[in-house]
Amino acid sequence: MRTNQFFDVRRFGMMCRRELLEPWKTHLLRFVACYAVLAVILVGYGMETYNHLSPGTPLEYSHALMQFFMVIFYVMGMLFASSFMERMKTKTGRIAFLITPASAFEKYLSRWLLVTVVFIVAFAIAFGLADLTKVLVCRMLYSNVAEQITFVPWSEVFTHPYAGWRLGVVASSFCFLQSLFVLGSVIWPKNAWIKTCAALIVILLLHVQAVMVVYQVRGSFHRGFYLTDEDMNRLVIGVGIVWAVFNWTLAYFRFKESEIINRW
């Protein structure tokens, strides 16, 4: 099999299959952990909500539930992204990964799909199962309002007038945050989550300090510059996508180097 090609569909398919099937126990444990966290949150929310609900009273889902969903989605995504280089934490793992008959791009792309696309699909399934658990448990506990205990009304979210903008902001924000931890994992294969968080905290503190200095010099940030909500959404989506692509590209070139040398 030739290994000097940049990309081969058949070889890439074999690489993806290997990434999915070989560590299936690890993937299963992570999926169960994700489901358990979501189930605890949803069941707890359901018990708190339905305990004070009277029969016939219309139920309105709190925005806090959606916010919890987004926070868990982001955090889980960053945790999974920090496992990007877990196969190269040890010398044995590095050697095994190095001799795999695939190009660096195929190895990188297979890992990227695992921690990005596969994660999103797995998270959606885990949330669906957790929502089902909430409905079943709460209907048993509060049988008097069983008909009012329903699944999370995602139809209302996707049919909202600003649903497109909101989904765009969420997607770009997720890609940006996830790309930071992919890059951090490539730079620091060991303890990637902790080291990346520490680096981001330092960068954030330096940024806040710089903003304070600029504010003291200028006295104000407002100079007649105004953005509408749509302009702000476009800006957030554009900046998020650009930075995500930049971080993923930088991670790829660092990944290629890591097959030969290990700087950290």
8-46: per-residue pLDDT in tens? 888 888 888 988 888 889 999 999 999 999 999 999 888
> pLDDT tier at 263 (50, 70, 90 boundaries)?
very low
Quick check: is 127 in a domain?
Answer: yes
Q: Indicate if the pLDDT at residue 219 is higher than 70.
A: no
Total number of domains in the chain: 1
Asked whether residue 1 is assigned to any structural domain, the reply reads: no
> Among the listed ranges 88-92, 101-105, 117-121, 166-170, which one has the minimum average pLDDT value?
88-92
Interval 81-108 mean pLDDT:
81
Question: What is the residue range of 113's domain?
Answer: 9-258
At 179 the pLDDT is 95
The pLDDT of residue 4 is above 60: no
- In this prediction, residue 264 carries a pLDDT of 46
DSSP 184-220: HHHH-STTHHHHHHHHHHHHHHHHHHHHHHHHHHHS-
- Exposure class string for 249-261: b at 16+ Cβ within 10 A, else e: eebbebbeebeee
For residue 77, tell me if it sits in a domain.
Answer: yes
Query: Distance (Å, rounded) from C-alpha 98 to C-alpha 104?
Result: 9
Burial of 180 (0-12, 13-18, 19+ CB in 10 A): buried
Report phi then psi at 221, rounded to 5: -95, -10
Determine, yes or no, domain membership for 3. Answer: no
User: How would DSSP label each residue in 111-163?
Assistant: HHHIIIIIHHHHHHHHHHHHHHHHHHHHHHH-GGGGGG-----HHHHHTSTTH
What's the confidence (pLDDT) of residue 222? 57
Comparing 194 with 69, which gets the higher pLDDT? Answer: 194
**φ, ψ for residue 90, nearest 5 deg:** -110, 165
- Is residue 2 domain-resident? no
- pLDDT, position 123: 95
Q: Check whether 261 has a pLDDT greater than 60.
A: no
Q: Please check whether residue 248 is in contact with residue 182, taking contact to mean a CB–CB distance below 8 angstroms.
A: yes
Nearest in space to 110 (alpha carbons), one of 175, 27, 16, 22: 16
Instruction: Decide if 41 contacts 68 (C-beta within 8 A).
Output: yes
pLDDT digits (tens, 9 = 90+) for 167-215: 888 999 999 999 999 999 999 888 899 999 999 999 999 988 887 887 7
Q: What is the pLDDT of residue 137?
A: 92
Other Cβ atoms closer than 10 A to 84: 25
Angstrom distance (rounded) from CA 253 to CA 248? 9
Domain presence at residue 126: yes
Q: How far apart are CA 59 and CA 201, in angstroms?
A: 40
Q: Which pLDDT score, from 0 to 100, does residue 1 have?
A: 44
Does any domain span residue 4? no
- DSSP label of 100: S
Give CA–CA dist 67/263, Å, rounded: 39
Kindly report, residue by residue over 46-59, the tens digit of the pLDDT.
Answer: 888 887 777 766 66
Least confident of 94-103, 132-141, 154-163: 154-163
* Number of CB atoms found within 10 A of residue 226's CB: 6
115-150, pLDDT tens digit by residue? 999 999 999 999 999 999 999 998 888 888 777 788
Report the C-alpha gap between 24 and 22 in whole angstroms. Answer: 6
